[in-house]
Structure 1
Amino acid sequence: MNKTVEILADQPALVKRALELILSKLETAIEQRGQFTIALSGGSTPKPLYEAIANQKLPWDKIHVFWGDERYVAPDHPDSNELMARRAWLDKVAIPAANIHAMPTSSANPVVDAAKHEQHLQEFFHVAPGIFPSLDVVLLGMGDDAHTASLFPHTEALKVRDRLVTVGNKDNNLRITFTYPFINAARNVIFLVAGANKRPALGQIFAPSADDFAYPSRLIKPQGELYWLLDTPAGLELKL
């Protein structure tokens, strides 16, 4: 794992740098493998990034979009990560519908839908069960409790090491989430973290030792590149 930490002036600078990184990784992936795979995060921080990507002239037919996690709500629900990304980006460009790999949330059973999505991923990447394929980019945010995707402190999802997808739990609100070993199989993981409220969690993430199950973002140690992009309010007190 190669880790890079960058502290940017503000959120627009954060978005600009994230866009640069993604476009660079996209170009390399398409050149080397003929396609680019990216997993999106939810929350407010990446929304302007998605809007910026929508303004690019890109080979949309070679781009495949996934999500690192999803709330267990309908795709048209205001809380849906899929809906946010569609409105900010995907509905504005000519990306084939088959290239959008949303997490299913319609069976009324998140365990069933998590297994269904895992099977879809295995078929897409042509891997057998137990094999972790490599996404080109996984975008992640981080909550002020140090959770990432829907991997929350002291929850069962943190113990899942043999699957790609599992059920996350936030105060009994169920989610579907990538597991941390699947995230760690990525070629590039990019954290986008903004706001002074993230400082205490970041202090624990970057501490020489701390409880991984109390601060789940510590578990993210990809085989490829790891980028922490922080705005100044978030990164101000960080001792690197």
Structure 2
Amino acid sequence: MSPHSQIEVFPDKADLIYRAVEVVLTEAHKALSHRDRFTIALAGGSTPEPLYQALAKQELPWDKVHVFWGDERYVPATDPQSNEGMARRAWLNHVPIPASNIHSIPTSAADPSEAAQQHEQELQSFFGTPSGEFPALDLILLGIGDDGHTASLFPGTPALDVTDRLVTVGSKDGQPRITFTHPLINQARLVLFLVTGASKLPALKAILSSKEDARQYPARLIQPTGSLVWLLDEAAGSGLNLG
């Protein structure tokens, strides 16, 4: 566990999402105050969707909010499996955020590695970081799978070994995905995990253990230099020893 980490357990998903909204808004206002912009990388899956729906109802200076994604399936944004598509439908289509502030992961190149390189160059250009340096996003949202993966960093895959790039190609069941690397994620000022459901408990125990192998449970690689916050519902967190 990161020395700057905390774990919060909530009775149900609704309470967890309420707290997640609080965290996002707090980090947004902090970033706007200090840097006059807020950078956030979104997660996919069903867990964060109600968070995005709640954020669609908030008042923020949307022209100063910049949205990225921690990973993306290699499909068009119109595909039902697209993380970007879900976030647009739940949130981004409902607020006056400039199109130029939505930093989509490209998924149309014939070679996914070319798309990963394109997105890395966009990140370097946006943050003004030279090659070899990792920029710090204000907030990166993550979840975990039952297998212990996070973003598109899956157990035993080559993406886990990439430490000199911002973006790389992940793989799930032979299907390519574009993903932030763990060194990029670890530069974030805050990493916020949202975890719900009893099926996540075995992996969660392993991830929070001091003994398990990060190649088997890749979310163990997330040890940010900033803060690390885990928001769990009762089903995911009830079996943990948090004493």
Bin for the TM-score computed over the shorter chain: over 0.9
- Tell me the equivalent position of 1:12: 14
- Tell me the equivalent position of 1:47: 49
Q: TM-score scaled to structure 2, two decimals?
A: 0.98
Q: Write the mapping of 1:22-101 to structure 2, written as runs, cut at 5 A.
A: 22-101=24-103
Q: Following the alignment from structure 2 to structure 1, what is the Cα–Cα distance between the partners of residues 85 and 111?
A: 20
| SS of corresponding position for 2:178 | strand
Unpaired runs of 5+ residues, structure 1, are none
For residues 56-108 of structure 1, give each alpha carbon's deviation from its aligned partner in whole angstroms, at most 9, with x where no partner exists.
01100000000000000011111000000000000001000000001000112
Which amino acid is 2:75 matched to? V
For residues 125-153 of structure 1, give each alpha carbon's deviation from its aligned partner in whole angstroms, at most 9, with x where no partner exists.
00001100000000001000010000000
Q: Following the alignment from structure 1 to structure 2, what is the Cα–Cα distance between the partners of residues 206 and 31?
A: 33
C-alpha deviation, 1:203, in angstroms: 0.9
Q: Write the mapping of 1:44-193 to structure 2, written as runs, cut at 5 A.
A: 44-193=46-195
| SS of corresponding position for 1:119 | helix
| SS of corresponding position for 1:37 | strand
Paired residue total = 240
Q: Following the alignment from structure 2 to structure 1, what is the Cα–Cα distance between the partners of residues 136 and 197?
A: 30
- Tell me the equivalent position of 1:21: 23
C-alpha deviation, 1:216, in angstroms: 0.3
Which amino acid is 1:125 matched to? F
Q: Following the alignment from structure 1 to structure 2, what is the Cα–Cα distance between the partners of residues 12 and 165?
A: 32
For residues 181-203 of structure 1, give each alpha carbon's deviation from its aligned partner in whole angstroms, at most 9, with x where no partner exists.
00000000000000000010011
CA RMSD of aligned residues (A): 0.5
C-alpha deviation, 1:206, in angstroms: 1.3
- Tell me the equivalent position of 1:199: 201
Which amino acid is 2:195 matched to? V
Over the matched positions of the two proteins, sequence identity in percent amounts to 58
- Tell me the equivalent position of 1:221: 223
Which amino acid is 2:5 matched to? K
For residues 194-235 of structure 1, give each alpha carbon's deviation from its aligned partner in whole angstroms, at most 9, with x where no partner exists.
000001001101112110100000000000000000000000
- Tell me the equivalent position of 2:234: 232
